[in-house]
Amino acid sequence: KALQGANVTVPHKESAYEQCDEVRGIAQTIKAVNTLVIENGRLIGYNTDADGFIHAIESFGPIRSALILGAGGTARALSVALRSKGIDVTVLNRSEGRLEYFKNEGIASYAWENFTPDAYDMIINTTSAGLSDNELPVPAAMLKELLTRTKAAVDVIYGKETPFLREVKERCLPYKDGSDMLLSQGVLANYLFLHRRYPIDQIESAMRQSFLY
């Protein structure tokens, strides 16, 4: 059977946006696509990261403030999703180069060199640090201070313990890797791949079983 769709991961979400014949939903705003669906020969782009992430962090309870590490497509998706829930968002990136989007949206955003740590309910790593190396998403001293000022942490990387999560676990903070987000965004992606023919809860039940093996 012909391919109906595909998921896209870092660092290709912005490029996927550029390749689409049409972009829908939040992907229009953040200019990053993680879900591609073929409809009548046309490539349609969506972003399911945002809703997937919100679903994944529900178990943490109320979150009032969040610090996002990184400024790529995932960071844009999560910043929009979190703000839509009334959560105060700050973005921290290595340099100023990718912060223009956040500044234009009125989101507090800083490069390492001009950042002063504050208290946050949650820190979210959206960078690729730790994916294929042993790097931290921010300098070690800065991370140490941040982790004394936060209540929980999430790393969107899944399938391995990153250096970031090791630091989080050493401080006995509540945490998650990207597995729950992966599942939640995948459920929504499959809902789109299947052209909304099956209820979301039915898709989630089937996919959750596959995650157990």
CATH number of 205's domain: 3.40.50.10860
Of 6-10, 114-118, 208-212, the least confident:
208-212
Q: What percent of the chain has pLDDT over 70?
A: 98
CA dihedral (132, 133, 139, 141) positive or negative: positive
Over residues 144-169, the mean pLDDT reads 96
What local confidence, expressed as pLDDT, does residue 209 receive?
83
pLDDT at residue 90 is higher than 90 = yes
- What's the mean per-residue pLDDT of the chain? 92
**Burial call 93-105: b when 16+ CB within 10 Å, e when fewer:** bbeeebbebbeeb
Q: Which domain holds residue 10?
A: 5-48+179-211
Active site residues: 13
CATH number at residue 152: 3.40.50.720
pTM summary value:
0.87
What local confidence, expressed as pLDDT, does residue 135 receive?
96
pLDDT at residue 176 is higher than 80 = yes
Nearest by Cα to 24 from 39, 2, 3, 12: 39
pLDDT at residue 4 is higher than 60 = yes
Cα 115 to Cα 36: distance, rounded to the nearest angstrom: 36
Contact 8, 36 (CB under 8 A): yes
Over residues 131-144, the mean pLDDT reads 95
29 burial class (0-12, 13-18, 19+ CB within 10 angstroms)?
middle
168 and 191 in a single domain? The answer is no
Over residues 14-21, the mean pLDDT reads 95
146 and 121 in a single domain? The answer is yes
Ordered alpha helix ranges (H), 49-199: 49-56, 73-84, 100-104, 140-147, 163-170, 179-193
Domain count within the chain = 2
Over residues 85-102, the mean pLDDT reads 95
pLDDT at residue 2 is higher than 70 = no
Nearest by Cα to 70 from 115, 13, 110: 110
Query: For the segment 43-84, what is each residue's pLDDT rounded down to a tens digit?
Result: 999 999 888 899 899 999 999 999 999 999 889 999 999 999
